[in-house]
């Protein structure tokens, strides 16, 4: 990684070595070594590792070759739909939408390009063609634009909430209603750089949900997002006391995660519905539940059945 990047808002005011550690996903001592060797500097001022990052700062990365990273490629990521304008992938867990500082795993964009899929050059550098994203720990459908026409139109459809995004999720506890809407603004958590939270200062966020199945200790739901804030589903359900199963960042019970065998949050982008950018035909693309999530569902069903059988004993 080379070049200058502006100071990340979430890290302003922190020590320079802490900033580099968080940005690159390396230890603080390794970050200090990069600063001391001049491979990472603050543009226009002394690059002391104890210097506090200012909002106006730019960070210059000039890393030696041994620090460069070759991104692994996911050759098995399914392409669910593809034409000259768009491609919809079924993103596996553990794959990021695009490259970012500190991420060393495969990405949707990098894997598509490496597999010969032509992507539009429209979009920010390193994020070409991407009009919506999924978390690394969330699997499911993600649309990437191949043509300039598609990028402009799909970006508009996503920003104006015309795309119907349907997720399946499993949340802890027994939801009282069979369907409801969570409407609460979401912003960055002041306590942690990488968490989000419900806050009056946040951006509008609206989540609709319907119960699909009840297990007593957990509830299987269908979720439709009216907005697309970072971690929206995870934050909203946590805010009403029902964090996603397998999501310790937002309050999940680690014991239930262990019981279900989950190593990530139970959340999958199941369906995308949109108007095709060129033909204007209403298009629906659907996914299937991944094996790890399906096995967790079966475990919850079995536990629910056992409890009901026990309760019915004379």
Quick one: which of 10, 32, 7, 5 has its CA closest to 21? 32
The catalytically annotated residue of 83, 135, 193, 292 is: 135
Distance CA 137, CA 130 (A): 18
Half-sphere exposure (CA, 13 Å, Cβ side) for 10? Answer: 13
123: CB partners within 8 A, 6+ apart: 129, 130, 131, 145, 151
Judge whether 135 counts as a catalytic residue.
Answer: yes
The token pair at 32 is: 């200090």
The token pair at 184 is: 């609460």
Q: β-strand 58-62 against 40-42: which pairing, if any?
A: antiparallel
Distance CA 171, CA 183 (A): 17
> What residues are annotated to the active site?
135
């Amino acid at each position: 990684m080379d070049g200058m990047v502006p100071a990340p808002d979430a890290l302003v005011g922190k020590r320079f070595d802490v900033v580099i550690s968080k940005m690159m996903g390396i230890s603080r001592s390794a970050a200090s070594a990069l600063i001391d060797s001049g491979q990472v500097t603050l543009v226009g001022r002394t690059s002391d590792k104890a210097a506090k990052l200012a909002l106006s700062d730019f960070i210059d990365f000039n890393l030696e070759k041994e620090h460069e990273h070759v991104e692994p490629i996911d050759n098995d990521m399914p392409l669910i739909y593809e034409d000259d304008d768009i491609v919809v992938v079924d993103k596996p867990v553990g794959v990021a939408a695009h490259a970012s500082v500190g991420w060393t795993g495969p990405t949707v964009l990098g894997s598509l390009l490496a597999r010969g899929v032509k992507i539009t050059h429209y979009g920010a550098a390193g994020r070409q063609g991407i009009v919506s994203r999924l978390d690394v720990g969330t699997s499911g459908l993600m649309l990437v634009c191949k043509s300039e026409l598609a990028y402009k139109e799909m970006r508009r459809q996503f920003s104006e909430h015309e795309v119907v995004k349907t997720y399946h999720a499993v949340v802890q506890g027994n939801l009282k209603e069979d369907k409801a809407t969570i409407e609460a603004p979401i912003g960055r958590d002041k306590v942690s750089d990488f968490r989000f939270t419900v806050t009056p200062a946040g951006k509008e966020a609206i989540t609709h949900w319907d119960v699909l199945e009840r297990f007593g200790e957990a509830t299987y739901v269908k979720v439709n997002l009216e907005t697309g804030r970072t971690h929206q589903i995870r934050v909203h359900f946590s805010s009403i006391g029902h964090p996603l199963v397998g999501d310790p960042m937002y309050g999940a019970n680690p014991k239930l995660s262990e019981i279900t065998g989950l190593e990530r949050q139970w959340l999958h982008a199941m369906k995308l519905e949109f108007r095709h950018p060129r033909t204007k035909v209403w298009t629906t693309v659907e996914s299937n539940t991944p094996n790890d999530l399906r096995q967790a569902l079966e475990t919850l069903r079995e536990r629910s059945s056992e409890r009901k059988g026990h309760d019915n004993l004379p």
